[in-house]
Homo-oligomer: A and B are copies of this chain.
């Protein structure tokens, strides 16, 4: 049997556009002789619609779209993802379902059992867990249809008292008791730099354990913070790769279920390149799906804004990015030179708006109020906020979106000014620690110097007072990032870190900074997620709590 894998880039709630893409792929698959075409999880509405799923008009439009798509399924069958109504009057209203479309109609509905409700996932908020396990029969082939997390019953459970499984039921086990010939999985599995490996491991593990080929179709494209990397695959019953689709772009392929290990294994893409592609797609989809084309950012001569600019230019084109240089009396000449050099090299228009006159006006306005008080963080914050206001003014006037240039280390310890350099519609680097910012910059400079070497080599500085360096108030980034990664991403405790040999005073200082700055992160822009633990809605922390140490 010939099955088409349709890996598409959906727009949440854009039923006309999503339906058109789906119908086009159905027609193409039919022309190419496929018996069945498979789409990704919640394809009709895009993953993830969040509380739009609570709105009846949204559900009605989703269901109407599926009916319409079904009409094009003549002489070919399709599996399309979408919300379905729970037929029982008890429990949540919806299932997260795969609609089996054939002969112009919905033939059966197959729903998701394991509803991820952790990190960035919130599915039990909207869906009831499925407990019916019916196979599809198509051309004599018995097919088990699962949805994303259903494959992940055996996932490793992080940071918990000894656990075997996160869920009590294994839907694969339920299906495999009925001896299906094939398993199909509709997925929407967001990118993190480990995810491709984890995903392949799970697919192979399940194929081998249950002696069943698996066809896996993933969503591609970014939805605000989440980037979906595609990489749909077929593995045979021995866990060998039969087909692998593109990463970070739409793709389409037809496999024969009798195919075996036709696939020539490609060398794995290096982590920096994956992150690069994810961030570029993250920026480009954010703009396209919000109906914007042009970006503004502040270019300081430092590494973070330089890297952000390179990514923005790749995503939007040099003609669609404008940068502002906003020097103060504390800006070094080399900073301005590095910024100009980069803008020129990339062919990006820049304007120079010195902030001195404005900060002076603030000083004069506040002179009486602050009389006899020493200069402190307040004055540094004013500079950052003046720059933030200029960037927003430029964006407002010309209809641009401001890109934020902060990194994860800064977001973690609150080394940034709320309503100043924390401004922006989208945080591009907010899930990269400073050391990862350097790694990605070196990757970009691998074949030619794009980012000025000077921006990479010089000691990081916010340049908000004479001779200031980040290391005046923070540990060196190598050490800081190691502590942050253990505490935030690995959820290890202060005690664990001290036992690991980190200096107790530094650990306590860093952890206190992390906890004290929840209030800042609460108001941070949405952040493109590239790790398995990004700040944002994947890490929900209370603001007024006392954090145990």
A residues near B, CB below 8 A? 11-15, 17, 46, 48-52, 54-59, 61, 85, 88-93, 117-118, 122, 124-125, 157, 159-168, 223-224, 285-286, 289-290, 351, 353-355, 357-358, 360-362, 364-366, 368-370, 373, 376-378, 381-382, 385-386, 388-390, 392-394, 396-397, 418-419, 423, 425, 491, 493-495, 519, 522-526, 537, 539-549
Contact = CB atoms under 8 A, between A and B. Distances in A.
14 contacts: A11-B546, A13-B542, A17-B546, A88-B168, A89-B164, A90-B168, A93-B163, A118-B125, A286-B544, A357-B364, A362-B390, A365-B390, A366-B390, A370-B397
B493 A539 contact: no
A425 B354 CA distance: 30
Contacts of A365: 353-355, 357-358, 390
Contacts of A354: 365
Given A91-B165, A362-B393, A51 B386 contact: no
A132 B138 CA distance: 42
Contact of A224 (B423, B425, B542): B542
Given A89-B165, A357-B361, A541 B52 contact: yes
Given A361-B357, A369-B394, A57 B495 contact: yes
Contacts of A540: 50-51, 122, 125, 537
A12 B542 contact: yes
A378 B397 contact: yes
A264 B15 CA distance: 57
Contacts of A547: 13, 52
What are the 7 closest A-B residue pairs judged by CB atoms, nearest first? A12-B545, A361-B361, A57-B493, A89-B164, A289-B544, A14-B546, A13-B545
Contacts of A168: 88, 90-91
A418 to B, nearest CB: 8
Nearest to A226: B542
A91 B17 CA distance: 38
B167 A90 contact: yes
B93 A160 contact: yes
A103 B124 CA distance: 39
Contacts of A386: 389
A366 B381 contact: no
Contact of A89 (B163, B351, B494): B163
Nearest to A536: B522
Contact of A542 (B50, B89, B157, B370): B50
Contacts of A124: 117, 124-125
A90 B166 CA distance: 6
B56 A159 contact: yes
B366 A544 contact: no
A90 B154 CA distance: 11
A290 B90 contact: no
A143 to B, nearest CB: 27
Contact of A393 (B117, B125, B381, B523): B381
Contact of A358 (B361, B381, B396, B425): B361
Contacts of A55: 159, 491, 493, 548
A388 B161 contact: no
Q: Of residues A59, A286, A358, which shows the largest number of chain B Cβ atoms within 10 Å of its Cβ?
A: A358
A542 B52 CA distance: 8
A156 to B, nearest CB: 13
Nearest to A18: B546
A423 B392 CA distance: 15
A393 B493 CA distance: 35
Contacts of A57: 493-495, 548-549
Contacts of A285: 544
A337 to B, nearest CB: 21
Contacts of A526: 522, 543
B46 A545 contact: yes
Q: Of residues A423, A524, A545, which shows the largest number of chain B Cβ atoms within 10 Å of its Cβ?
A: A545
Given A388-B419, A389-B419, 10 more contacts: A14-B546, A15-B548, A56-B491, A358-B358, A369-B397, A381-B393, A385-B419, A392-B419, A418-B423, A419-B419
A168 B167 CA distance: 18
A364 to B, nearest CB: 6
Given A13-B542, A92-B166, A159-B56, A389 B377 contact: no
Nearest to A46: B545
A353 B381 contact: no
A376 B370 CA distance: 33
Contact of A548 (B58, B89, B93, B381): B58
Contacts of A495: 57
A165 B117 CA distance: 21
